[in-house]
Chain A
Amino acid sequence: MANAFRNFARKIHEINQRYSKPHIEMSGAVRGALLALRIYLLFLVSLMVYKFVTLLG
C-alpha cells in the first residue's frame, strides 16, 4: 500500500516536472486572459464559500 502511494507521488512529481513550463507563447493577450480567469475563479469560489457558510449558519 505504502509502495503504491510512493509510486503515485512519484508519478505526480514527474507530471509536474514535465509540464513545469507552459509551452504556449505567453503574449500579452494570453497573460491578460489567464489573469482574468484567475480573478473570475477567485470571485466564483468566494461566492461558493459564502453560500456554504450561510448554509451552515
Chain B
Amino acid sequence: MNFFSKLYYGLRKWIKAVQLYFVIAGPGLVVMIADNDAGGITTYAATGAKYGYNLIWFLLILVPVAYYVQEMTVRLGAVTKRGHAEAIFDGFGAFWGWFSLIDLMFVDWLTLVTEFIGMTSALSIFGIPAWATIAGVVLLMGMIVLNGRYWTWEKIAMLFCALNLIYIPGAFMVHPEVSDILKEGMIPNFPGGFNGELFFFLMANIGTTIAPWMLFFQQSSVVDKGLQEKDIPWGKFDTMLGSTLTVVVAIFIVIVTGTVLKGVDIDSASQAAELLLKTNHWVGTFMAIGLFDAGLLGAICISLASSWAFGEIFGWAHSLNQKIKEAPWFYASYFFTLITAGLVVLIPNAPLVLITLFVQVIAVTLLPAALVFLILLLNDKKHMGDYCNTLWENLVGGFIVLAIVILSSLYGISVMFPDLFK
C-alpha cells in the first residue's frame, strides 16, 4: 500500500510539473526552433550535401552554445522586466541604445526579406505564385497577432514549431545507415582536412545558430509573457529543450541531404527540395513544407522582435495582450516591416542574392555588441541581484561569446571577401 501511495503521489507531482511547464513553456522553445529559419535550413541542407554526416558532431556542440547565450536573456527579462533594447538604452546610454536599435531594425528587415524568399521559393515548387504566398502569409500572421492575447499567439507559434519536426520522418524515409551516421558523424573530424571551405561551413553553421534578433526576441517575449524570478528554472528548461530540438532538426536535415544528395553543391534549400522530389516525392515535399514553415516561424518572431524593441524605447503600448486600438503603433510597425519586406521579393530583378549576403554582414555588426552587452548586464549586481552571473557562468558564457564574436566576424568578412579563406 505504501508503495502504491508513493507511486501515486510521485506520478501526481510529475503530472503537475508537466502541466506547469506547459503554462510556462514558450519563449525558449519558439525562439530556438524559429532559429531554424529559411537561411538555417539552407545552411544545414548545404552542409549535409557537401560533407555528408561528417559534421554532425559539430552541430551537437551548438546545443550548449545556443543554450548558454539564450538562457541569459531569460534571467535578464524575468528579473528586470525589460526587453533587451530597453536594457541596453538604460544600461549603456543613448549612443549604444540607438546603435543597437537601428542596427536591429536593418538586420530584422533584411532577414525578414530572406524569410519571404525562402517561403515563396518553397511554395513555388507546388506552383503557388509568389504574390499569393506573400498575401497569404501577411494575412495569416495578421490573424495570429490580432487575436489580442499573447497566450494564443504563443500556442499557435508552437504548432508551427511542431511542423518543423517534419524533417525527422523525412530522414527515416531515405533509409540512412545508422552505423554510418554513428561512425562518420559522432567522432570529431574535418572531412578533406581543415581548409578554407570547411571553415566557411563551420562559421555559417554557428552564424545560423545565434542570430541577434534571437536575443531581443526572447527577452521581450519573457517580459510580455510576464515570467517572474520563480519561473527562471522552467524558462531555462524551456530554452534547453528548444536548443536541443533545434539541433536535432538540423541533424535530421543533414541526414536527408547527406544520404541522398552527397557531393552535390546546394545553393538553397528549395533547390535541395527540387532535387529530392526527383528521387523521393514525399521527402522532397517534406523538405519544401519544412522550408516554408521555417520561413514562416522566422517571420513571426523577427517582425515581433523589432516591434517590441521600438515599443520599449518609444514608450508605445507594446504587448500582444493589447488590442490594435490600445497599441496602434506596435501593430503598425509590425505590419509595416512585414508588408515592405514581402513587397521587396515581388520587385522584378530585385538583388535577392545580394540581400541574403548583406544580412550576414550587417548581422556581424550587431551580434558582438548585443552579446557583450548581455554579459555586462548579467554582471550588474545592482539590477540583477542574486541572479547575477556566477564565476562559472561568466567563464563559460564569456568563452562562448568570444568564440561566436571571432567566428561570426570571420564569417562576415569571408562573405565580403570570398577569396580570403581559399
| Number of residues from A at the complex interface, CB < 8 A | 21
Contact B92 A22 (CB under 8 A): yes
Please give 19 more A-B residue pairs, beta carbons under 8 A apart, in addition to A24-B382, A44-B364, A48-B416. Answer: A11-B314, A15-B94, A15-B97, A15-B314, A16-B94, A19-B94, A19-B97, A22-B92, A22-B93, A23-B91, A24-B92, A24-B383, A33-B375, A37-B368, A40-B368, A40-B409, A44-B412, A45-B365, A48-B361
A41 CB → nearest B CB, Å: 6
Which residues 2-33 in A have Cβ within 8 Å of B in the complex? 11, 15-16, 19-25, 30, 33
Q: Which residues of the other chain, A, contact B382 by a CB distance below 8 angstroms? A: 24-25
Question: Is there contact, CB below 8 Å, between B90 and A19?
Answer: yes
Which B residues are closer than 8 A to A by beta carbons? 89-94, 96-97, 313-314, 361, 364-365, 368-369, 372, 375-377, 380-383, 405, 409, 412-413, 416-417
Residues B376 and A24 in contact, CB atoms below 8 Å apart:
yes
CB-CB nearest 6 A-B residue pairs: A24-B91, A22-B93, A19-B94, A19-B89, A16-B94, A51-B416
Please name all residues of chain A whose beta carbon is closer than 8 Å to the beta carbon of B89 when the two chains form the complex. Answer: 15, 19
Q: How many angstroms between the C-alpha atoms of A55 and B190 in the bound complex?
A: 34
- Are the C-beta atoms of B369 and A37 separated by less than 8 Å? yes
Binary per-residue interface labels of chain A (27-57) against chain B in the complex, 1 for a CB within 8 Å, 0 otherwise: 0001001100100110011011001000000
Q: Which residue of A lies closest to B371 (CB)?
A: A37
Q: Which residues of B contact A22 (CB under 8 A)?
A: 91-93
What is the bound-complex CA distance between A51 and B365, given in angstroms?
Answer: 15
Given A19-B93, A24-B92, A25-B382, do A44 and B409 touch, yes or no (CB 8 Å)?
A: yes
Task: State the Cβ distance, B112 to closest chain A Cβ, in Å.
Answer: 21
Q: Which residue of A21, A33, A44 contacts B376 across the interface (Cβ within 8 Å)?
A: A33
Which single residue of chain A is at the shortest CB-CB distance from B92?
Answer: A22
Roughly how many angstroms separate A22 CA and B90 CA in the complex, as a whole number? 6
Q: Which of B369, B377, B417 contacts A24 (CB 8 A)?
A: B377
A17 to B: closest C-beta gap in Å = 9
Question: Which B residues are CB-close (under 8 A) to A20?
Answer: 93-94
Q: Smallest distance from the beta carbon of B328 to chain A beta carbons, Å?
A: 14
**A51 with B417: in contact, given A15-B313, A21-B93, A44-B412 (CB under 8 Å)?**
yes
Chain B contacts for A34, CB-based, 8 A:
92, 96, 372
CA distance in complex: A26, B312 (Å): 24
Q: Chain A: residues with CB nearer than 8 A to chain B?
A: 11, 15-16, 19-25, 30, 33-34, 37, 40-41, 44-45, 47-48, 51
Complex Cα distance A40/B372, Å? 12
Q: Contact: B372 with A47, CB < 8 Å?
A: no
B92 to chain A, nearest CB (A): 5
Residues of A within 8 A of B90 (CB): 19, 23
Q: Is the CB of B365 within 8 A of A44?
A: yes
User: Complex Cα distance A34/B368, Å?
Assistant: 11
**Chain B residues near A23 (CB-CB < 8 A):** 90-91, 383
Query: Shortest CB–CB separation between residue A20 and chain B, in angstroms?
Result: 6
Can you list 23 pairs linking A and B with CB atoms under 8 Å apart? A11-B314, A15-B89, A15-B94, A15-B314, A19-B94, A19-B97, A20-B94, A21-B93, A22-B91, A22-B92, A22-B93, A23-B383, A24-B91, A24-B92, A24-B377, A30-B376, A33-B372, A37-B369, A41-B365, A44-B365, A45-B365, A47-B413, A51-B417
Cα of A40 to Cα of B364 in the assembled complex, Å: 11
Q: What's the Cα separation between A15 and B97 when bound, in Å?
A: 10
**Which chain B residues lie closer than 8 Å to A47 at the CB level?**
413, 416
Residues of A within 8 A of B97 (CB): 15, 19
CB-defined contacts of B91 to chain A, threshold 8 Å? 22-24
A34 to B236, CA, bound (A): 28
A56, chain B: closest CB distance, angstroms:
14
B380 touches A37 (CB 8 A): no
* Cβ contacts under 8 Å, A24 to chain B: 91-92, 376-377, 380, 382-383
Measured in the bound complex, the distance between the Cα atoms of B412 and A37 in whole Å is 16
Q: How far is the CA of A24 from the CA of B368 in the complex (A)?
A: 19
Please indicate the chain B residues that have their CB under 8 angstroms from the CB of A44 in the complex: 364-365, 409, 412
- Within 8 Å CB of B313, what residues of A? 15
Nearest CB of B to A44, in Å: 6
- Chain B residues near A15: list those with CB within 8 A: 89, 94, 97, 313-314
Cα(A51)–Cα(B368), bound, Å: 21
Q: Once the chains are docked, how many angstroms separate the CA of A44 from the CA of B375?
A: 21
